Chain A
Amino acid sequence: MKHKLMVLLITCVNILSVAHAGTIKVVTTTTDLKSITELVGGNKVSASSIATGYQNPHFVDPKPSYIIGLSNADMFVTVGLDLEIGWSPQLLSSSRNTKIQKGAPGYVDASAGVGLLQVPSSANRAEGDIHIYGNPHYWLDPLNGKVIARNIANGLERVDPSNKSTYEANLQAFYKKIDDKMREWQSKMAAFKGTKIIAYHNEWVYFETRFGLNIVDFMEPKPGIPPSPSQLVKVIKEIKANNIKVIISSPYFTTSSSDVVAKQTGVKELTMATSVGGFESVKNYFDLFDYDINQLTATLK
């Protein structure tokens, strides 16, 4: 009897401590995943992101300090498709946290089920930094945000089944807001269907496809290779021939080569946000598209 009481007491203490610990600790690789995790998880989760919104997600430095958060996390969310191949596997295996290793319930690959673009037919590094599973910048299509949110909700429901109804309700609210905002974004972009633009790096294909833009070339001659003089000449010719109005870039690329092209052609340079936190005002996943679409439409007008 005494023994049973002890067991009961220990169980109660355990339940209490779990309840007291409260939120599910989620570490995401990028800020977009953090934002969606917060929208789906609500007050049941506390999320942090390893990368900031203004740094290149391919080249995050695997600082040991990130291991502290990972070692205590209940869930880990990754963009996947080898976007983070240079840094996240190393951090994950150093975390000594079995809950978030690949294959564990707390490991969420946000790309599961995303319709991928630019899946190469051969893996050849002579083509630059190509991604063997397809272009990994898929979060820049708001409709892929729904797939990401579904994957994150699945993960939260695996590690915290008791709050399933909350996550499902938040997920539905997220879907609805995306649908509502999509109408607004589509109507703003409608006037610019087929508009030809230049991009610095090949990271806008999902945005381009969703909103009907036409990226005719990149400042980088091949993904990851810095702009070369011959590429600049080619881009200048294309801008002149097609009357291209804008070069879009990201906060983590230098503008020196775009400056040269702008000087030669009068083309405008626009640094867009590639992730939440890319600019001060981009505080969540919806702000990301609000910001980019407002900036882009204002520049193209």
Chain B
Amino acid sequence: MKWKNSFYSFVLLTALPGVACLAQVPADSTAADSALLKQIEQQMQTTTQPAAQPQQGRSTLSFNPDIGVIGDFQGSYISKGNRNFNAYLNETEVSLQAAVDPYIRADFFLSFARDPETGKYGVEVEEGYLTTLSLPAKLQLKVGKFREAVGRINPTHPHALPFIDLPNAYVNYFGDEGLNDEGVSLSWLVPNKKFYQELVFQATSGQSESPSFFRGDNNRFIYLGHLKNFFTLSDNSTLELGLTGLTGPNDSSRTTSIASADLTYKWKPVQMNTYKSITWQSEFYYGHANLLDNFSINSIGLYSFLQYQLAKRWFLTGRYDYAQRPYDKTIVEQAYSLTAGWYATEFSKIELEGKTTDNNIESRFYQAWLRWIFVIGAHGAHQY
């Protein structure tokens, strides 16, 4: 009995640090230990419990989540003002992803970035949420802080976009960081066998900063509904049509509502999908901001881009922006931009973008950016 106990302790001890440790024991131990080992070995041969054998490869397994780090280094130029050139590590994103248990998985994205106002580095939770894996009726629940389901740009992390700056209309409504808030998201896979349809409903607290919404000293939340329709036109081409509606309190303690539609056409020949592709993506936004009694501003904005893959590693993206300022629709911005991207591998890419902007309150100005994205560790898949 005593032997059995020490045998189990031995197995436990050796199994923890793994096979490598087991191999080291005889070399470093005394003669007495060797005798002990011999006896244990004999007992192991006679024992009828195969489960006690330490498994090969066990030492390499761990419950650590998949960890990835994404660096985003940028250089920029702007033709107006006094400081025209700049260089900065725009963002360092750390991702931690794993299944929590058989019912949920967790995804965390921590962002380390310099505050443009103070110049100091700070950390923020860009996203941190759980996703259920086993709800009935084709439902999936997401709880935490997440990029909300507004069209195509907002759910995408900026490093994965085919341009460096964000569309003007998008920034006017949702800010540089996008609509990224805390709450719950319930999505339902519509049982439609003809084409893919997903309905998403989100309710968030509105505490995260955004130009359109503001959490006041009350119980009003932001509510969002999104319907995604995805059609397979042929083996090589697909069409996605998304409709979004959201409403929430603004900084006048009244209501702002935004409706948006997104349309994405992709051509990607299945056989040569790593060499050739075309994406045409557009989003249209309509904003209704109620600011005073009997005073509301209705504004619109849109962007449309065409991305053409010239060769395995080369991408060219042209984009047009049109935006009315949501709080002063007499200010109208129009911009054209062109981005060339060289994707060395799945883990690094270099992009160069030039942009010209016109609006009716100042003279035309030009901007340019150079960005180098680099990834180490695990890298999650991007949305299609």
Contacts and interface: CB of A to CB of B under 8 A. Distances in A.
A86 B346 contact: yes
Main SS class of interface, A: loop
A9 B123 CA distance: 61
B10 interface: no
Contacts, number: 83
A226 B105 contact: no
Interface string A241-272: 00000000001101000000000000000000
6 contacts: A62-B384, A64-B228, A87-B381, A89-B381, A98-B133, A254-B275
Given A93-B105, A93-B131, A125-B347, A59 B384 contact: no
Contacts of A56: 273-274
A67 B270 contact: no
A237 interface: no
B268 interface: yes
Contact of A54 (B270, B313, B345, B383): B270
Nearest to A55: B270
B92 to A, nearest CB: 18
A65 B196 contact: yes
Interface string B132-143: 011100111000
A67 B346 contact: no
The 7 closest A-B pairs by CB, nearest first: A64-B196, A90-B381, A64-B230, A98-B134, A65-B232, A54-B271, A96-B138
B232 A52 contact: no
Interface in B336-384: 345-347, 376, 380-381, 383-384
Interface residues of B, number: 39
Given A96-B138, A224-B345, A63 B230 contact: yes
A59 B133 CA distance: 25
Nearest to B137: A96
A71 interface: yes
A120 to B, nearest CB: 12
Contacts of B189: 67, 71, 94, 96
A101 B135 CA distance: 13
A249 to B, nearest CB: 13
Interface in B169-192: 189, 192
Given A251-B271, A252-B272, A252-B273, 5 more contacts: A52-B271, A90-B380, A101-B133, A101-B134, A125-B376
Interface of B: 102, 105, 131, 133-135, 138-140, 189, 192-193, 195-196, 198, 228, 230-232, 235, 238, 240, 268, 270-275, 312-313, 345-347, 376, 380-381, 383-384
Interface residues of A, number: 32
Interface of A: 52, 54-56, 59, 61-65, 67-68, 71, 85-87, 89-90, 93-94, 96, 98, 101, 103, 125, 129, 224-226, 251-252, 254
Contact of A96 (B139, B273, B275, B345): B139
B376 to A, nearest CB: 8
B271 A61 contact: no
B271 A55 contact: yes
Contact of A64 (B135, B139, B384): B384
A63 B384 contact: yes
Most B CB atoms within 10 A — which of A52, A68, A224, A251? A68
Nearest to B232: A65
Most A CB atoms within 10 A — which of B138, B198, B268? B138
Contacts of A65: 195-196, 230-232, 238
A252 B271 CA distance: 5
Given A65-B230, A93-B105, A103-B102, A71 B138 contact: yes
Nearest to A56: B274
A209 B246 CA distance: 59
Contacts of A59: 273-274
B134 A68 contact: no
A63 B274 CA distance: 15
A129 B240 CA distance: 31
Contacts of A52: 235, 270-271
B268 A67 contact: no
A103 B272 CA distance: 34
A34 B131 CA distance: 30
Contacts of A68: 192-193, 196
Given A96-B140, A226-B313, A63 B232 contact: yes
Nearest to B344: A225
Contacts of B345: 125, 129, 224-225
Contacts of B376: 125
Contacts of B228: 64
A59 B139 CA distance: 28
A147 B326 CA distance: 62
B21 to A, nearest CB: 19
Given A86-B381, A101-B133, A61 B268 contact: yes
B312 to A, nearest CB: 6
Contacts of A254: 272, 275, 312
A63 B238 contact: yes
A262 to B, nearest CB: 20
Contacts of B270: 52, 54-55
Most B CB atoms within 10 A — which of A61, A96, A226? A96
A86 to B, nearest CB: 5
Given A63-B230, A89-B381, A96-B140, A55 B198 contact: no
Contact of A93 (B133, B198, B235): B133
Contacts of B138: 71, 96
A252 B268 CA distance: 13
Nearest to B140: A96
A26 B228 CA distance: 26
Contacts of A129: 345-346
A62 B230 CA distance: 12
A253 to B, nearest CB: 9
B70 to A, nearest CB: 14
A55 B273 contact: yes
A96 B134 CA distance: 6
Nearest to B240: A64
